[in-house]
Amino acid sequence: MLKIELPGKRKRGRPKRRFMDVVREDMQFLCLHSQCLILNLLVLKCLQARYLENKFYTNAGCTLVAVNPFKPVPSLYTLKLMMEYHKAPQLQYLRPHIFTSAEQAYRNVQSQMEPINQSLIVSGESGAGKTWTSRCLMKFYATVAVSSSLKAHDTVERIERRVLDSNPVMEAFGNACTLWNNNSSRFGKYIQLQLNRSQQLVGASIQTYLLEKTRVANQPVNERNFHIFYQITKGATEDERLKWNLPCNSLFTWLPNTERTLEEDCFEVTKQAMLHLGISSETQNQIFKVNKDIPVSIHLFIYLFD
Ligand SMILES: Nc1ncnc2c1ncn2[C@@H]1O[C@H](COP(=O)(O)OP(=O)(O)OP(=O)(O)O)[C@@H](O)[C@H]1O
Ligand SMILES: [Mg+2]
């Protein structure tokens, strides 16, 4: 049996033997050497030991386990690091990272005969980091899968920008603050990134499913409605309030916990992203304008489902 000793729990007099010395970078070792009898505890200890060393990604066979650091780690997502993974001759020698999975899928597309599709499934409990990881993947492809030719530059820039701008819009209309996660996605999504024969990003589509529609009319205690409603009621300018018939400083029964201000309450970001996605200011006015003859509750539904 493999005895595990976590850093800081070493008994006096015994040689310093870090768990990582035994397990190396990667849980594949455990799969091979315990004939796939991986004990839950062992896996958790491994993840814990790596977490304590600020290693938030671990390979487990062909699966990548990502542990939420619950703190900003900018050095883990730099452009330089992205390019390092993209240009690495042999990915297996680099540290486990979401960029490894992204790059591997990209290389699979490049190396195989058409038609070839690759899927990356991101799953986990609420707050685990699925949305974060999806954003990282989209950022990665929007960075590496672009043409260097000047001619294509404008189009490509527009496409990669649109791909990335789909996130704030989707999150404004489909995410809400819950007990577990201030930015909890209340829907599932299937994102398809389309590449041309030269493996350049040429388009994207998103299908959403299982949107938690009941949240519009009923929110659990200490949770909030969808971000977009708070963004509008808190972030509309005086001009916009007049144009959209929005009363000032009103309290809405269906918008509880308004006093909590989150970084997700940024209406300006949503409006800009909508513009980049081709939703003009005029169309935005139509979306956000409150018709005085329709009850606000109906408007909430219209915003969300129209
Ligand atoms: N790799 C990371 N680095 C830094 N912060 C992270 C990372 N992953 C997640 N987080 C933090 O954890 C929070 C929750 O993550 P995220 O919203 O991605 O969870 P989720 O799995 O999508 O949850 P839900 O199922 O509720 O939508 C993020 O807002 C972010 O602050
Ligand atoms: Mg999410």
C-alpha 245/C-alpha 57 separation (Å) is 49
Q: Give the Å distance between the CA of 224 and the centre of ligand 1.
A: 17
The whole-number pLDDT of residue 56 equals 97
Given the CA of residue 136, which atom of ligand 1 is nearest to it? 1
Mean pLDDT, rounded, for 148-156: 56
Mean pLDDT, rounded, for 148-169: 74
Is 125 known to sit in a ligand binding site?
A: yes
Contacts of 245 (CB under 8 A, 6+ apart): 289, 290, 291, 292
| 51-60, 263-272, 297-306, range with the lowest pLDDT | 297-306
Residue 130: enclosing H or E segment and its boundaries?
A: helix 130-144
| 2-6, 15-19, 287-291, range with the lowest pLDDT | 2-6
C-alpha 110/C-alpha 96 separation (Å) is 21
Given the CA of residue 72, which atom of ligand 1 is nearest to it? 4
Q: Is the CB of residue 126 below 6 angstroms from any atom belonging to ligand 1?
A: yes
Which CATH code, of 3.40.850.10, 3.30.160.60, 3.30.160.270, 3.30.930.10, is assigned to 68-305? 3.40.850.10
Given the CA of residue 98, which atom of ligand 1 is nearest to it? 1
Is 129 known to sit in a ligand binding site?
A: yes
Q: Is 15 exposed, middle or buried (0-12, 13-18, 19+ CB in 10 A)?
A: exposed
The whole-number pLDDT of residue 112 equals 78
Structure tokens at 269: 């970001």
- Whether the Cβ atoms of residue 10 and residue 16 lie closer than 8 Å to each other: yes
Q: Is the CB of residue 54 below 6 angstroms from any atom belonging to ligand 1?
A: no
Residue 5 pLDDT exceeds 60 = no
Q: pTM of the entire structure?
A: 0.84
Residue 269: enclosing H or E segment and its boundaries?
A: helix 267-276
- For the chain, residues classed under CATH 3.40.850.10 are 68-305
C-alpha 101/C-alpha 128 separation (Å) is 18
Q: Is the CB of residue 134 below 6 angstroms from any atom belonging to ligand 1?
A: no
Is 128 known to sit in a ligand binding site?
A: yes
Confidence of residue 50 (pLDDT cuts 50, 70, 90): very high
| Helix-then-strand count for the chain, H and E | 12, 6
Q: Give the Å distance between the CA of 124 and the centre of ligand 2.
A: 9
